[in-house]
Structures are given as structure tokens and as C-alpha cells.
Chains A and B, each alone.
Chain A
Amino acid sequence: MAEFKFLGYLADLYGKKRVKIPLDSARKLRDILGVEFPEDRSIVLINRRVGNFDNLIGNGDTVVIMPIISGGGS
């Protein structure tokens, strides 16, 4: 199983906040999710390291996909 977590509006985009997906072999992140994310406005952390949608994901990996935000108000 690989575990995926989505934050903010990207969770709405995916339809869930968390999902676990079994993978027979390592695959590109973008091919696993089947949803087009705004890549230039997203941060991908794979096992807590910065990654991208072309990285290969396998069973045991933990992926967090979060929007680029910019802190609070005044």
C-alpha cells in the first residue's frame, strides 16, 4: 500500500483527504492519482522529502500533496 494525503482545496479536487492504494509496481505519481492537479501551485512531499508528479511511488511510500499558501491576514 502507498498512502496519500491531500490538503486544502486539493482534497476537494481529489475527492478525499486520504487514500491508501495498493501498487503492484512503482508508478509515476501523476499516473496513480488520475486527477489533474495544479502542479505549479502544489507541493509534493514523498516520505517527507520534496518530490514531484513524475516521481515513482511504490508500496510503503507516504505522499502528501498540498497547495502553496501564503500565511494569514494582516
Chain B
Amino acid sequence: MKGNVGRILRVNLSDRRISTEEIPGEMMGLFLGGRGFAAKILWDEVMEVDPLSEGNKVVFSTGPLTGLPLPSSGKMVIASKSPLTGGYGDGNIGTMAALHLRQAGYDVLIVEGRSDRPCYIAIHDKKVEILDARDYWGKTTIEAEHTLKEKHGRNIGCLIIGPGGENMVSFANVISQENRAGGRPGIGAVMGSKNLKAVVVRGTGNIPIFDEARLREMGKKGYQEIKEKQNYDFWIRQGTMQVFEWCNENSCLPAYNFREGSIPFSKQLDGYAMEQVKVDRKGCPLCNMQCGNIIVDCENGRAEMDYENVGMLGPNIGMADLGEVGALTRMADEYGLDAISLGSCLGFLMEASEKGVIDERIDWGDFEGCKGIIENTVKKEGLGEIIFEGVRKASERVGGDSRDWAMHIKGLPISAYNCHACPGMALSFGTSPIGAHHKDAWVISWEISTDRFSYGREKVEKVIELQRLRGGWFESLTTCRLPWVEVDFGLHWYPKYFEAVRGEGISEEEIFQLGDRIYALIRSYWIREMGVWDREMDYPPARWFEEPLSQGELKGYKLDRAQFDEMLSRYYEMRGWDENGIPKAETLEGLGLGDIAAVLGKNG
């Protein structure tokens, strides 16, 4: 089948065995690539193991559009059983490694086992080696990438962990090209548990395409269409940082550990403030709307400013200086820590300190204090030890009423959107397949443009539609959704690209079914791995239901628990899941997942 190379590379770090295998045609048909492949592989191969044990695996997975001359296609999915949540974890990352892996002749790399010493995997087409990484161990992600490029040349793709991953901080991620990050559910920690510092890839072959001439022509038109979009220039100026002002205006900024949705000092941190100090722009391969804005931070480092990072390491911890926020963001990238989770953990500690739940003192906006905690997190010392396993475990440890304001769902800290007055987004966070992340269904614009405070059926339908497209289609293709969602690049292009690549078309119904299948599979994975399951797993923290916003234009607003529950039931019903959010046997069978129905039935 064109469009997929059709091959998996498997590297076992325990017995150092390296092998390849063909991807079955049925798997390509049912799961497409990227996230679909990753979920299927984890379901088949990683069950009932400790996420940091030898039995877990890291799946680096591309899709049929990855690495082709199409807008923003330089993406890869990285997935494992998550040490942060205990369930399915993945993230997408923009990286040259995605292109190179496919050009080397593989759609997927599976890393399994555990090396007895620090190592890295070097792939150069068919030559695959497990090499000694003792010289790189302990280095930051940026130092390690520079050193690896000195050895292997600049024309490579690197996927690297920092000291955070090496020491298995539960929210350690994977970094590429210095600031591209992915795998926030602790995929970096899984690499660290395997003593795997990095994957270095160089590929020189061609990716099979059914109609290359047509694809190139359509790709060129796509790039041109993006550049002609009315908001393209503004996007180039601010990228995702434009979201900051927008969220503050709409009371959905994360402020003071998600207590508030707006701040009076927004202008010090928003996209316009960033433009004043911006020195460079960078981004992922094959992208002509690169969103990485580089500033020089307060310590003269180069920091990449993205809305999520700035939201969580800015207002969420009471920081009002963009240069200081930049320095914290840079530290997170260097150590290979997920900045969203880090901001949530720091906010949690600040609130715990304020309330006297912990004895140690850390105040809102304490820059030097935050730096110290980040250093100590990697060393598992002091306050860093409390947050080492993420905010859920920190809450279990400090006790009190902290469960109500430990801002996570299923163990994954909520990304940078306050939902006191966004019921649809709260549902999106609640039902996201990795825990509370926004990538699958960012629905806030839609809900504000319709009936913001509604818990109605149409809102549930919208969340599912976005999950099908963003979480199913884009994550499996695997290509970046931002051209479509941010500058209104035509969604109609993607089935055309797919057809030119594969030589066969795909209908809207098939795209939706793909999304539903992947969602049912991932949900089943969670249920199997957790052993017990009920609808409370999909609830946002009590803060959004119990403590109304105390300032801003939406002062007094909070979520209504009974109405949220009704909305959740409606969601389950539309998905064909039961009242506890467990896919029904007939739903799984209808999606071609009858074997999974049998396993869930046995467990149930």
C-alpha cells in the first residue's frame, strides 16, 4: 500500500536485537498511521506493566502524510504507557526525525527492553546501531543535540531527553531541534527508564507516493494558499502567543493555579509584549507558518515562547515578567520537562504554601524560588521531590483538601485554559484520550461564538467532531492541524493529499469512523490498564465546580456539576459507551474491534 513505507523497525535494548517487520495491511487500513498505529501497538504489546519497567515500550510513529512536501507535515507521534497517568500517553512533535525515519524506510520505530547502560539509537537507512551514550548522559537537551550533530553531521533528526527524563521525572518529555517538545505524559521518563538518551536518524531514500507529481502540485498550492490567508502575517508575528490576549479577554487564562481566568497585567505577557523582545522565529520541518517565537530571556538565554508555556509559567504561577517566564521556559526545555505540567506543579506548590498545607515557603511570582524548585525536581530533592511524580501524586502526598485544587484530569495536568465558564472545553479536557490536554478538541472559540454557557447537545456534538478530526484524522495522518485551525487553510485539501499519496480516496464517514475507532481503542486501553473504571475519571477538578471566579468580567461564574454530568452522559451515549464511559461491545464490534470487546468483557 502506497503512502506508508509499510515497515516497523524494532529495537530491543535488553538483548540488543534489531529487527524489522511488515505492517499488516489490515492495520494500515484500520488505523492509518501515527496515533492509530501507536494505540494499536500499545494495546497489543504493552499490558499490565509498570510504565517505568522493562516491559513498557516507546513507539515513534509516523503517518501517510508525514514528511511529504505538504504544509506542516514534519510531525511524529511518540507514545507509551504513561508513568504520569498510568494510561495511554502520547504527544506529537515537530522534528526532522519524522522525515528521516520514513526516508530510512520505516513508518514506526518501537523501542523495547532496557539497556544496562546509557545508550542511544543511531539509524542511518538500513544500518541501525545501539551506541554508548555515556558522553551525552547528564547533558541538557540542547547540549546533547549539538554534540550529537558534531558526531553524526547536521543533516539528521534527533529525539532527545534531558536530565528530567534521565532521572525519570514523571512529566519529562522529548525534545528535538532544541525547543520542539512532545510526549508530555512522561514519555521522556520512559526513555530514561530504558537508559535511552536519544534517537538519531538519517534517511536518504524516497517515501512511496502513488501520484507524486499531483501531490507536489497540490502541496505547492497549499503552501501558497496559506501565505495568502488574511491572518497569515499576524500569525507570523505572534503565532500562538496571540491566544494570550484573547484568553484574558474571555476569562479563560490559567491564573493562580486556575483560580482565576484573567489578570490585570496581561499586557506585560501577551503577544504584543513578546513582539517587543522577539529576536528570531523557528519551527518544524516543512512548515511555512512556523510558530516558535524566540526571545532573549532575563538571563540572556534564547527562549521559545508558546502560549501554553507562557500561560502556565506566567499567570498560573503569578509571574508578570516575560523575561523571567522565558527563563523558566528555557529551563524546562533544557531539562526536558513538560512546561505545562511544570507550571501546574509550581502553581500547586504556591497554593499549598499559601494555605499552609506545606511548611515550605514559595510565593506567587517567586522567580528565584521557581528556578530552585526546577533544579530540585530533576534531583528529586526538597519541594522538587513533592512534584517529582506530577500534581496528582503531589496532592495525594500533601493531603488536606488539595485534591480539589490539584488541577489535572486522569493525572495529566490541565493545559492552559481555565474552564470556569467553558463547559464544552471542560468536557473536551475530561474526555481527551491522554488526560487533560487541548490538542484533540479546542472548542472554546466555537462555544463563545454560539452559546457559551450552554451544556447542550450541540456542544457535545462539536467536541466529538473536533476529536474525530483533530484527534483521529490529523494525529494519524500524521500532520500538523495548525494550518487548518489557525489560518483557515482548507480542510478539503487533506483527503485530496491522502488520495494522491495512497491511490485510494477516503470519505468523510470513513474519517469519522477512524476517529471513533481510535478513541474506542485508547479508551479500552485505559480501562484494561487501570483495572477499575468509572465516570469520575472524566471529571474536572472540584475547583471549577465549587469556587467561582473572583475577578474579571465573569466574576461569579463556575461550572454546574449536575449539568456537566448530563453533558457527559450525552457524550457517552453519542459515542456508544455505557454510563461509566466504557465502550459497549456492539460499539467495538461495529468499529472492527471485536477482539477488544472480548477482552473488556472478560475484565468486566
Q: B402-437, CB under 8 A of A: which get 1 and which 0?
A: 000000000000011100000000000000000000
Q: Are the C-beta atoms of A72 and B306 separated by less than 8 Å?
A: yes
Q: Are the C-beta atoms of A72 and B416 separated by less than 8 Å?
A: yes
Q: Are the C-beta atoms of B234 and A43 separated by less than 8 Å?
A: no
Q: Are the C-beta atoms of A72 and B308 separated by less than 8 Å?
A: yes
Q: A8-B234, A70-B486 are in contact. Are A50 and B448 (CB under 8 A)?
A: yes
Q: B224-258, CB under 8 A of A: which get 1 and which 0?
A: 00000011011100101011011001100000000
Q: How far, in Å, is B533 (CB) from chain A's closest CB? A: 27
Determine which of A5, A9, A73 lies in contact with B231 in the assembled complex, contact meaning CB atoms within 8 Å.
A9
Determine which of A45, A69, A70, A74 lies in contact with B93 in the assembled complex, contact meaning CB atoms within 8 Å.
A74
Kindly state whether residue B314 has any CB partner on chain A within 8 Å.
Answer: no
Q: A50-B448, A71-B438 are in contact. Are A8 and B245 (CB under 8 A)?
A: yes
Kindly state whether residue B449 has any CB partner on chain A within 8 Å.
Answer: yes
Q: Are the C-beta atoms of B439 and A74 separated by less than 8 Å?
A: yes
Chain A contacts for B485, CB-based, 8 A: 70-71
In Å, the complex CA distance between A9 and B438 comes to: 23
Q: Are the C-beta atoms of A71 and B249 separated by less than 8 Å?
A: no
Kindly state whether residue A1 has any CB partner on chain B within 8 Å.
Answer: no
Q: How far, in Å, is B479 (CB) from chain A's closest CB? A: 12
Determine which of B94, B452, B486 lies in contact with A74 in the assembled complex, contact meaning CB atoms within 8 Å.
B94
In Å, the complex CA distance between A59 and B382 comes to: 58
Kindly state whether residue B445 has any CB partner on chain A within 8 Å.
Answer: yes
Chain B contacts for A5, CB-based, 8 A: 249
Kindly state whether residue B553 has any CB partner on chain A within 8 Å.
Answer: yes
Kindly state whether residue B444 has any CB partner on chain A within 8 Å.
Answer: yes
Kindly state whether residue B451 has any CB partner on chain A within 8 Å.
Answer: yes
In the complex, the chain B residue whose C-beta lies closest to that of A5 is B249
Q: B507-537, CB under 8 A of A: which get 1 and which 0?
A: 0000000000000000000000000000000
In the complex, the chain A residue whose C-beta lies closest to that of B485 is A70
Kindly state whether residue B343 has any CB partner on chain A within 8 Å.
Answer: no
Kindly state whether residue A22 has any CB partner on chain B within 8 Å.
Answer: no
Q: Are the C-beta atoms of B230 and A69 separated by less than 8 Å?
A: no
Q: How far, in Å, is B95 (CB) from chain A's closest CB? A: 11
Q: How far, in Å, is B367 (CB) from chain A's closest CB? A: 23
In Å, the complex CA distance between A8 and B487 comes to: 12
In Å, the complex CA distance between A70 and B234 comes to: 14
Kindly state whether residue A2 has any CB partner on chain B within 8 Å.
Answer: no
Determine which of B311, B442, B448 lies in contact with A70 in the assembled complex, contact meaning CB atoms within 8 Å.
B442
**Residues of B475-510 contacting chain A, CB below 8 A:** 481-482, 485-486, 488
Q: Are the C-beta atoms of A67 and B231 separated by less than 8 Å?
A: yes
In Å, the complex CA distance between A41 and B308 comes to: 23
In Å, the complex CA distance between A71 and B307 comes to: 8
Q: Are the C-beta atoms of B417 and A69 separated by less than 8 Å?
A: no
Chain A contacts for B442, CB-based, 8 A: 70-71
In Å, the complex CA distance between A71 and B291 comes to: 12
Q: Are the C-beta atoms of A74 and B91 separated by less than 8 Å?
A: yes
Kindly state whether residue B450 has any CB partner on chain A within 8 Å.
Answer: yes
Chain B contacts for A8, CB-based, 8 A: 231, 234, 238, 242, 245-246
Q: How far, in Å, is A72 (CB) from chain B's closest CB? A: 4
Q: Are the C-beta atoms of B246 and A66 separated by less than 8 Å?
A: yes
Q: A12-B234, A50-B448, A50-B452 are in contact. Are A71 and B245 (CB under 8 A)?
A: no
**Residues of A2-57 contacting chain B, CB below 8 A:** 5, 7-9, 12-13, 38, 41, 43, 45, 48, 50
Chain A contacts for B308, CB-based, 8 A: 72-73
In Å, the complex CA distance between A69 and B234 comes to: 12
Q: Are the C-beta atoms of A38 and B451 separated by less than 8 Å?
A: no
In the complex, the chain A residue whose C-beta lies closest to that of B554 is A48
Q: Are the C-beta atoms of A72 and B438 separated by less than 8 Å?
A: yes
Chain A contacts for B415, CB-based, 8 A: 72
In Å, the complex CA distance between A35 and B283 comes to: 33
Determine which of B245, B306, B482 lies in contact with A7 in the assembled complex, contact meaning CB atoms within 8 Å.
B245
In Å, the complex CA distance between A37 and B492 comes to: 23
In the complex, the chain B residue whose C-beta lies closest to that of A12 is B234
Q: Are the C-beta atoms of A71 and B448 separated by less than 8 Å?
A: no
Chain B contacts for A68, CB-based, 8 A: 445-446, 449
A to B CB contacts below 8 Å, 11 in the list? A5-B249, A9-B233, A45-B448, A64-B249, A66-B250, A68-B445, A69-B445, A71-B485, A73-B308, A74-B92, A74-B439
5 new A-B contacts at CB < 8 Å, known A7-B246, A8-B246, A50-B452: A13-B230, A38-B230, A67-B246, A72-B415, A73-B307
